[in-house]
Amino acid sequence: MAPVKSRVIVLRSYKLGETSKIVVCYTREYGKLRLVAKGGRKGGGRFGAALEPLMVSSAVFYPKEGGGLSLLSGAEIETEFPSMRRDVVRMAYGSALVELVDRLVHERESDRGLFDCIERSLAEVEQAEEEQLDDVLWRFELNLAAALGYSPELSMCVKCGNADGRVAGFSSTLGGLVCARCAASGPDVALTTVAVAAVLRLIAANVRSGSTAGVGDRMTRAERDDITRALHEFLEEQGGQRLTIKSMDFLAQIRRLDGVGTETGQDNG
């Protein structure tokens, strides 16, 4: 089979044998793929930094029919994100983004819109003010859910379809808002607070309008963590698997150690 060229976003890599590595990436033309880089571990190797996680590169490879590993024959960096590499907090957000893609997206389902969304979101992580990073991640999660076919219902009650009733909260299990009447009549599902549901609606409105306005920068760290948790639980429920996002756990650890994230409001954690 003839080699093909595609833009790729490197999600992660792991070693194969003594000298090679496997690069898991999201390609613009072929969706998520695993590429074998022969000799890719030798002192930077002939592929250099183009295969480092979070790089946007241009890759030439031989696509393997019917699944399995595709052989990489060349890769060049297209976009790197220097601020992300310098800044441990920014790096954790960028890593969370690609970890989510790695965990939730199936191999070989091509979606150029999703590729562009990942690339755009990484550029936002690179450039955004630090207080806006949660917003970048939240918007990305809603876009990812839409790409995977399970957008949360945030415009009406997910149970009865009422768009005007008082909202009681958001249910990860049901995948949407629940109105007060449905919440009162059961059966019981865990609901977020009304405030969390309201913020989720604002984020969804920003996603719809393409706005990068922040909704999180006036919230306390504890309030932001509630939003992050709600979206995380939603993706777990709808994606049908437990998600341990290592970079977010890491970020929580550094925040505990040095009080990063207490820059706005009171930190109740």
160 binds Zn ion (CB under 5 A): yes
Instruction: Determine, following the binding rule CB under 5 A, whether residue 25 of this chain makes contact with Zn ion.
Output: no
Q: Which of the stretches 55-63, 122-130, 150-158, 193-201 binds Zn ion when contact is defined by CB under 5 A?
A: 150-158
- Which are the contacts of 30, defined by CB distance < 8 A and separation ≥ 6? 4, 6, 63, 108, 110
Nearer to Zn ion, 22 or 168 (CB): 168
Cβ proximity to Zn ion: between 96 and 197 the closer is 197
Phi, psi (rounded to 5 degrees) for 20? -105, 165
Cβ proximity to Zn ion: between 101 and 167 the closer is 167
Cβ proximity to Zn ion, 18 vs 164, nearer residue = 164
98 binds Zn ion (CB under 5 A): no
Residue 45 or 169 having the CB closest to Zn ion? 169
Q: Which is nearer to Zn ion, 162 or 264 (CB)?
A: 162
Contact letters for Zn ion, residues 199-228 (x by CB under 5 A): ------------------------------
What's the Cα-to-Cα distance from 124 to each of 48, 95, 102, 172, 262, rounded to whole Å? 25, 13, 19, 27, 22
3: cis peptide before it, omega within 30°?
no
In single-letter form, the type of residue at position 251 comes to L
Is residue 158 at the binding interface for Zn ion, with CB under 5 A as the rule?
A: no
Should residue 37 be labelled a site residue for Zn ion when binding is judged by CB under 5 A?
Answer: no
Task: Indicate the pairing of strand 20-27 with strand 167-171.
Answer: unpaired
Binding range to Zn ion, per CB under 5 A, among 44-52, 177-185, 227-235, 238-246: 177-185
Residue from 100, 144, 145, 182 in contact with Zn ion (CB under 5 A): 182
Q: Which helix (H) or strand (E) holds 70?
A: strand 70-79
Stretch that binds Zn ion, among 6-14, 105-113, 176-184, 203-211 (CB under 5 A): 176-184
Rank residues 91 and 182 by Cβ distance to Zn ion and give the closer one. Answer: 182
Q: Is 157 in the site for Zn ion (CB under 5 A)?
A: yes
Count of chain residues binding Zn ion (CB under 5 A):
6
Q: Considering the rule CB under 5 A, would residue 179 count as an interface residue with Zn ion?
A: yes
Map residue 33 onto helix, strand or coil: strand
d(CA 122, CA 128): 10
Q: Which amino acid type is present at position 96?
A: A
- Distance, in Å, from the CA atom of 222 to the CA atom of 14, rounded to the nearest integer, reads 35
- What HEC string does 120-184 produce? HHHHHHHHCCHHHHHHHHHHHHHHHHHHCCCCCEEEEECCCCCCCCCEEEEECCCCEEEEHHHHH
Residue 163 contacts Zn ion per CB under 5 A: no
The footprint of Zn ion (CB under 5 A) covers: 157, 159-160, 162, 179, 182
